[in-house]
Amino acid sequence: MKEQCFARFLKAIYGLKQASRVWNETFDDFMCSIEFQASGFDPCLYINIIKNCVLVLVYVDNVLVTGSSLELIARTKNDLKIRFEMNDSASFLNGADGSVTMCQRRYVDDIFKRFGMDDCKAIASPVDMSSRLVSSDATTKVSAPFREAVGTLMHLTTATRPDIAYAVSYVS
């Protein structure tokens, strides 16, 4: 009769259905041990704000580290390298290298057309920081969709144009 041998692995084997859960638990335990907290909104985002801010974002087995200083980022990366076998590909994440750029020029042009402002001249800043709005004593009211325009611009501000935030909040 043949002798049977069994082995019990104390870690997950790559490719098994429980491997990703074990990886996540291991990573979570380690991040908590170096004083990071998982975000309440996204459990894959770890935050450390003891002195300054360091954010660690996990996507499958990719890790993105960013923060308020290069020293803190380097220290966090070093802690991760000590515990996990990893390489630092700096500007390469999830198969993409370089940067992501968003442009809403067409959307802005559509806004101008919708509110009859497509003939306006371009300026460097949408409002002078020292200007003040004053109440008008005119008896006739202008029927213009101010609320709709401000709401549309607020959406643009939060999406891709933070440079117009002051002007939009000022007229709202």
Distance (Å, rounded) from C-alpha 10 to C-alpha 122? 65
11 confidence band (pLDDT: 50, 70, 90):
low
Phi, psi angles (nearest 5°) of residue 17: -65, -25
State which amino acid sits at residue 138.
A
User: What mean pLDDT comes out for the span 66-77?
Assistant: 89
Q: What average pLDDT score do residues 16-37 get?
A: 89
Average pLDDT of 52-73? 87
Residue 72 has pLDDT above 70, yes or no: yes
Radius of gyration of the chain (CA): 26
Q: Hey, how many other C-beta atoms are within 10 angstroms of the C-beta on 80?
A: 18
Please report where in the chains the tokens 């309440």 appear, as a residue. 40
Best CA proximity match to 161, nearest among 150, 172, 149, 153: 153
> Would you place residue 79 in the very low, low, confident or very high pLDDT band (cuts 50, 70, 90)?
very high
Residues 87-96 pLDDT 10s: 877 666 666 6
Domain ranges within the chain, ordered by starting residue: 19-97, 105-171
Q: What's the pLDDT score for residue 12?
A: 65
How sure is the predictor about 64, in pLDDT bands with cuts at 50, 70 and 90?
confident
Total-model pTM: 0.51
Asked if the model's pLDDT at residue 28 lies above 90, the reply is yes
Q: What is the pLDDT of residue 51?
A: 74
Q: How far apart are CA 116 and CA 95, in angstroms?
A: 43
Mean pLDDT estimate for the chain: 82
Give Cα 92 to chain centroid, integer Å: 17
Q: Is the dihedral of CA 120, 125, 126, 127 positive or negative?
A: negative
User: How does pLDDT run across 107-166, given as a tens digit for each residue?
Assistant: 888 988 998 888 888 777 667 767 777 777 777 777 778 888 888 888 888 877 887 888
Neighbours of 131 (CB within 10 A): 9
